[in-house]
């Protein structure tokens, strides 16, 4: 089938997401068609390069990629500095195009490097995880973690092109693939009951990495995100809905020092807690909470959280970047497919929500 092409509006100009099998083979042509060249540098991680380097190296003008360590604990200013060092050493100027090949961590930190090197150079995303294909590669959010909080240092810097090939997902461990499905589930909860139905009905095909099943959920997730970020690029209103499950999810990641949970797993817990909080708050129907509980249960067990401290999680929430003028904007579901933002959530609400997922 021909690839799916989705246009995303951005202040710097619209850009396409190209989704489909064998799209990596056409990467050089896609870059040419987008007018992105001639100097191109790939940034990736050693593991990703071992799996996918042969498929993408023809898109670069530089003979060697810039390889940096992967994983949330390496998503920091130190790793970004390694990208700067490499770019300076090869004499990269403002004409350079940086191609980020990897998962969400690589995409976020390379995007931030591109946003800040020489005050901004062009970046292209080639996401190699389900999480990155459905979420982090789209929308222009870039950033790195601080020891006290996730993504506290960053910039909005939209890419010029995103190329998502489901074939690369075949190399993902099952746990990593499942982590990406939690983000797909999020899109179903906030915007599309039919997507949630599709995920639940096609789980066997998805876990087998069936291309048709995978392309369908990636494309619909990207369509939802493209629609949201095109309307609200800098998260002043509508885009906050994409944070469903992330307030508590990010806090769980921070208190475990980004070592225990995949991002999607933390978001899975965050969504369960958000449903419990919304029901407690009086905006989430019990049926919606039960629906999400059932779908997440079918995805497989989440890592335990019973040893975490609610007080530490609450402290991490207090440093969340979604707090504006001292007010936490918390996204709650009003139904499967619809959300609202509440701004007067109390510590008691949060503690009860954490207790509902096993954190006391």
Asked whether the CA dihedral 177, 180, 182, 187 is positive or negative, the reply is negative
The HSE-up count of residue 156 (CA atoms within 13 Å, CB side) is 11
The C-alpha atoms of residue 331 and residue 277 are separated, in whole angstroms, by 10
Burial class of residue 322 (count of CB atoms within 10 Å of its CB; 0-12, 13-18, 19+): middle
Q: What is the 3-state secondary structure (H, E, C) of the chain?
A: CCCEEEEECCCCCCEEEEECCCHHHHHHHHHHHCCCCCCEEEEECHHHHHHHHHHHHHHCCCCCCEECCCCHHHCCHHHHHHHHHHHHHCCCCCCCEEEEEECHHHHHHHHHHHHHHHHCCEEEEEECCHHHHHHHCCCCEEEEEECCEEEEEEEECCCCEEEECHHHHHHCCHHHHHHHHHHHHHHHHHHCHHHHHHHHHCHHHHHCCCHHHHHHHHHHHHHHHHHHHHHCCCCCCHHHHHHCCHHHHHHHHHHCCCCCCCHHHHHHHHHHHHHHHHHHHCCCCHHHHHHHHHHHHHHCCCCCCCCCCHHHHHHHHCCCCCEECCEECEEEEEECCEEEEECCCCHHHHHHHHHHCCCC
Catalytic residues: 119, 141, 183, 225, 235, 239, 243, 246, 250, 263
């Amino acid at each position: 089938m021909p690839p799916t092409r989705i246009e995303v509006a951005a202040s710097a100009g619209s850009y396409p997401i190209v989704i489909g099998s064998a799209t990596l083979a056409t990467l050089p042509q896609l870059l040419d068609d987008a007018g992105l060249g001639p100097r191109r540098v790939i940034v990736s991680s050693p593991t990703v390069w071992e799996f996918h380097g042969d498929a993408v190296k023809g898109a670069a003008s530089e003979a060697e990629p810039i390889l940096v360590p992967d994983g949330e604990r390496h998503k920091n200013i130190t790793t970004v500095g390694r990208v700067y060092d490499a770019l300076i050493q090869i004499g990269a100027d403002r004409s350079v195009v940086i191609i980020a090949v990897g998962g969400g961590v690589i995409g976020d930190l390379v995007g931030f490097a591109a946003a800040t090197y020489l005050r901004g150079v062009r970046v292209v995303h080639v996401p190699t995880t389900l999480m990155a294909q459905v979420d982090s590669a789209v929308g222009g959010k870039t950033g790195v973690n601080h020891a006290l909080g996730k993504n506290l240092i960053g910039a909005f810097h939209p890419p010029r092109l995103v190329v998502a090939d489901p074939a690369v997902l075949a190399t993902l461990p099952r746990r990593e693939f499942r982590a990406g499905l939690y983000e797909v589930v999020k899109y179903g909860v906030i915007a599309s009951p039919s997507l949630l139905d599709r995920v639940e009905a096609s789980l066997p095909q998805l876990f087998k990495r069936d291309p048709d099943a995978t392309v369908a959920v990636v494309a619909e997730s990207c369509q939802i995100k493209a629609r949201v970020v095109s309307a609200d690029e800098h998260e002043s209103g509508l885009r906050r809905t994409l944070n469903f499950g992330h307030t508590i999810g990010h806090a769980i990641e921070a208190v475990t020092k980004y070592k225990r949970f995949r991002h999607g797993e933390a978001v899975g817990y965050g969504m369960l807690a958000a449903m419990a909080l919304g029901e407690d708050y009086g905006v989430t129907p019990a049926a919606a909470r039960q629906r999400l509980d059932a779908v997440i249960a079918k995805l497989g067990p989440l890592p335990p959280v019973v040893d975490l401290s609610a007080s530490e999680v609450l402290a991490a929430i207090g440093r969340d970047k979604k707090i504006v003028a001292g007010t936490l904007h918390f996204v709650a579901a009003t139904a499967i497919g619809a959300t609202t933002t509440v701004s007067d959530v109390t510590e008691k609400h949060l503690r009860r929500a954490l207790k509902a997922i096993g954190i006391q």
